[in-house]
Amino acid sequence: MTKLLKNGKTVADTWTHVTDDDAVPETGPVIVTLARWRAEHNTLAARKDGLGIRLESGQSPEAIKDDLSRFAVVALEFPKFADGRAYSYARMLKERLGYTGEVRAVGDVLRDQYRAMHRCGFDTLEVAGDVPADKLEADWQAALAELRHAYQPALRGPEPVLRQRHRAAAA
């Protein structure tokens, strides 16, 4: 059973993923595929409940840059954890495209990658499996705390070492 991690807490997920074959439910917030969005653009845009989009790892957010304001969630897929494209996509969404909604990691989301996802700007993580909520939250805390410092700037995480060094020197 998939759980949703947000800021290190498991939270209720109100969103429904709709595949290309599923019927879109009448009500409630849905996350649709890029193909679905392209095919049913007008109907989906008219929905009153929330709309999100799911991008596969070969689909760059560039493809939806003009429609971003319509999506409350952009879900970026890790088809396997070793496919790292979504790390760059998450940064592109927030840094270049100025997206302010929820960026969600879906697919092969594993504990040893929580920290990198967090630093690259993912807001929520869908974690598959039967891990109890408290274990999931403890894993999250541990994964983030494992490395105290970071050399490079990113969207979140510790202040880069380089800046700490020269702040200390200036003080």
Partner 1 sequence: MYRYDEFDHAMVKDRVEQFRGQIARRMAGDLAEEQFRPLRLQNGLYLQLHAYMLRVAIPYGQLNAVQMRKLAHIARTYDKGYGHFTTRQNIQFNWPKLSQVADILDELASVEMHAIQTSGNCIRNTTADQYAGVTADEIEDPRIFAEIIRQWSTFHPEFTFLPRKFKIAVSGAVGADRAAVRFHDIGLFIVKNDAGEVGFEVWVGGGLGRTPMIGKKIRDFVAKADLLAYLEAVLRVYNMLGRRDNMYKARIKILVHETGVEEFTRLVEEEFLDTRGGDLDLPAEEIDRIAAYFQPPAYEALADDPPALTARRFEDKDFNAWVRVNVARHKVAGYAIANISLKPVGAPPGDMSADQMDAVADLAEKFSIGGIRVTHEQNLVLPDVRQEQLYDLWRGLRDQGLADANLDHIGDIICCPGLDFCSLANARSIPVAEQISRRFADLDRQYDIGELRLKISGCINACGHHHVGHIGILGVDRKDQEYYQITLGGAPGEDAAIGTKIGAAFSAAEIVDAVETVVNTYLAIRQPKERFIDTFRRVGDAPFKESLYDKAA
Count CA within 13 A, CB hemisphere, residue 30: 21
Site membership for partner 1, residue 8 (CB under 8 A): no
Site membership for partner 1, residue 56 (CB under 8 A): no
Q: Are 138 and 169 in contact, with CB atoms under 8 Å apart? A: no
Q: Which of 6, 60, 70, 102 binds partner 1 (CB under 8 A)?
A: 60
Give me the torsion for CA of 20, 79, 157, 6, rounded to 10°: 50
Residue 27 Cβ, how far from partner 1 at the closest point, in Å?
Answer: 36
Q: Are 102 and 123 in contact, with CB atoms under 8 Å apart? A: yes
Q: Which of 82, 130, 134, 171 binds partner 1 (CB under 8 A)?
A: 82
Q: Is 107 left (phi over 0), alpha (psi -120 to 50) or beta?
A: left
Site membership for partner 1, residue 149 (CB under 8 A): yes
Q: Which of 6, 17, 70, 85 binds partner 1 (CB under 8 A)?
A: 85
Per CB under 8 A, residues contacting partner 1 are 57, 60, 81-85, 87-89, 91-92, 95-96, 110, 112, 115-117, 119-120, 146-154, 157, 160-166, 169
